[in-house]
Amino acid sequence: MTTSLSDFQSLGLGEKLRRALRDVGYTEPTPIQTQAIPHLLQDRDLLGVAQTGTGKTAAFALPLLQRLDEENSLAKPRRPRALILAPTRELALQIHEELERFGKYTELRQAFIFGGVSANPQIKALRQGLDVVVATPGRLLDLAGQRHIDLSEVEVLVLDEADRLLDMGFIRDVKRIVAQTPNSRQSLLFSATMPHAVAALAREILDDPVRVDVSPKQVTVKEIDQRFVMVGTSDKQRMLEHLLRDDEVSRAIVFTRTKHGANKVAKKLGNAGIGAEAIHGNKSQGARQRALKNFKNGDSWVLVATDIAARGIDIDAVSHVINYELPHEPESYVHRIGRTARAGATGAAWSLVDPSERSRLRAVERLIRFSPSEIEVNLPPRDPAEAPRVNPPRRRSRPRASTNQRANASALPRAGSRRR
Ligand code: AMP
């Protein structure tokens, strides 16, 4: 046995889980795992200040699975023993997939419950008996109202991305759900930020929690090469296309403030020969999964997303985050740019700033205590005849800029270059 595996062992994790960890290639625990797992195995409540990318899913999933597995009891119809609440379907699905991977050597039964897809398979799974349910609040309450699920035997409750749950207006739903679980439960709350409303919720549902803070805010922000371009709104699309053609951009997420904006930008990128997918809350679950899959496997190399749709999505090797507009809340800027520079990689974040967005830029600077540097880019001429088009990408490749475009692109910042 290697030293690294014994690290997970020294945290108290048993053989079945360590075997699964070996299969997925986790050799060492991340800081949040090291700090949280031993306490969770002792049934403590936990307040985790951590965002996606820190390894928080495994931090709560591993001890949870171990506890349920050790109890060695049969899954009861409609009465799960663990409930994980997540704000979005994508996050719920991702958590479910991780649980399946970690739990593969156990007999535990698990499923997700969320809207946008037929409830029937979910109802059927509940009837057959589940140990763990990962759910978004709306569908869960619907099914609870119809008595398809009974939360009175929940032993472990996890609220993931609590700040986002509250942002999305789920506070009352969350409280109604919590009220249906027994007081004796173990409770965990994870949040990337800790505004008053989240702190108040944590006080309400957690009992003498251990606090683990691995907020990578400062570190992440420093590691990312951040720049902004002043550009009028009417020129943003052209600027975006120009920036995307920079040789260094291998995979990018473009953030827009609205769903409509995401569609529009993605469509225009497609027209310009840049393989892009839009992802936002108005898309069906199937369409969102397809868009993510295409992006993950390289069939498209630009994902145009709204904040909520992109939260919690785990995609490796995103070289650039581009803010088509700055977000209303400066905290969202930090979440957005955290999509790049994951797992220790460096990345770049560029923002297209209309003069009317200056105050937003200042709000971001105050929050991150850092000023992204301004870059000046000479936009290529408007006439399409003068700006050679790039052919649509074939499978798994992104279009390379032509020599002419590279000359233009040389005006762009190098992702790895020093800040001013
Ligand atoms: P999370 O913060 O849970 O969304 O995890 C972020 C990413 O880190 C996911 O891709 C995980 O699969 C990965 N990850 C979590 N824990 C470890 C670990 N101990 N070693 C390597 N990768 C990990």
When the candidates are 3.40.50.720, 3.40.30.10, 3.40.630.30, 3.40.50.300, the CATH number that belongs to 224-407 is 3.40.50.300
Selected residue with higher pLDDT from 337 and 37: 37
Place 314 in a pLDDT band, splitting at 50, 70 and 90.
low
Which residue owns the Cα nearest ligand 1 atom 16?
Answer: 55
> What kind and span of H or E run contains 367?
helix 358-368
**CA-angle at 12, arms to 8 and 16, nearest 5°:** 70
| The two structure tokens encoding residue 230 | 């002043």
| Cβ burial 41-78 (10 Å sphere, 16+ → b, else e) | beebbbbbbbbbbbbbbbbbbbbbbbbbbeeeeebeeb
CATH topology identical between 6-213 and 224-407: yes
Does residue 338 carry a pLDDT above 50?
yes
Instruction: Determine the average pLDDT of the residues in 400-419.
Output: 39
Residues, the chain: 420
Does residue 387 carry a pLDDT above 80?
no
3-state SS class at 281: coil
Q: Between helices 89-102 and 285-296, what is the axis angle to 10°?
A: 60
Selected residue with higher pLDDT from 149 and 363: 149
Instruction: Determine the average pLDDT of the residues in 151-156.
Output: 98
Does residue 3 carry a pLDDT above 80?
no
Residue 269: predicted pLDDT = 96
| The two structure tokens encoding residue 296 | 């993950």
Residue 255, burial from CB neighbour count under 10 angstroms (0-12, 13-18, 19+): buried
User: What percentage of the chain exceeds 70 in pLDDT?
Assistant: 84
Instruction: Determine the average pLDDT of the residues in 399-407.
Output: 39
55 lines ligand 1 (CB under 6 A): yes
| Cβ burial 92-128 (10 Å sphere, 16+ → b, else e) | bbbbbebbeebbebbebbbbbbbeebebeebbebbee
Q: How far apart are CA 106 and CA 108, in angstroms?
A: 5
If one counts every other C-beta atom within 10 angstroms of the C-beta of residue 79, the result is: 16
For a mutational test of ligand 1's pocket, the pick from 4, 7, 32, 54, i.e. the residue with the most ligand atoms closer than 8 A to its C-beta, is: 54
pLDDT, tens digit, 9 for 90 and up, residues 273-296: 999 999 887 777 788 888 888 888
Instruction: Determine the average pLDDT of the residues in 218-242.
Output: 86
**pLDDT averaged over the chain?**
85
pTM over 0.95: no
Instruction: Determine the average pLDDT of the residues in 82-96.
Output: 95
Q: How far is the CA of 197 from the centre of ligand 1 (A)?
A: 28
54 lines ligand 1 (CB under 6 A): yes
Domain residues of the chain, as ranges?
6-213, 224-407
Using CA atoms, how far residue 97 sits from 22, 64, 102, 111, 157, in Å, is 16, 15, 9, 9, 18
Q: Given phi > 0 = left and psi -120 to 50 = alpha, else beta, which region is 132?
A: beta
User: Is 3.40.50.300 the CATH number for 6-213?
Assistant: yes
Q: How far apart are CA 401 and CA 390, in angstroms?
A: 7
Place 72 in a pLDDT band, splitting at 50, 70 and 90.
confident
Nearest CA among 302, 300, 313, 288 for reference residue 240: 302
| The two structure tokens encoding residue 292 | 């993510």
What sign results for the dihedral spanned by CA atoms 9, 13, 18, 24?
A: negative
58 lines ligand 1 (CB under 6 A): yes
Q: How far is the CA of 11 from the centre of ligand 1 (A)?
A: 16
78 lines ligand 1 (CB under 6 A): no
Which residue owns the Cα nearest ligand 1 atom 22?
Answer: 26
Residue 400: predicted pLDDT = 42
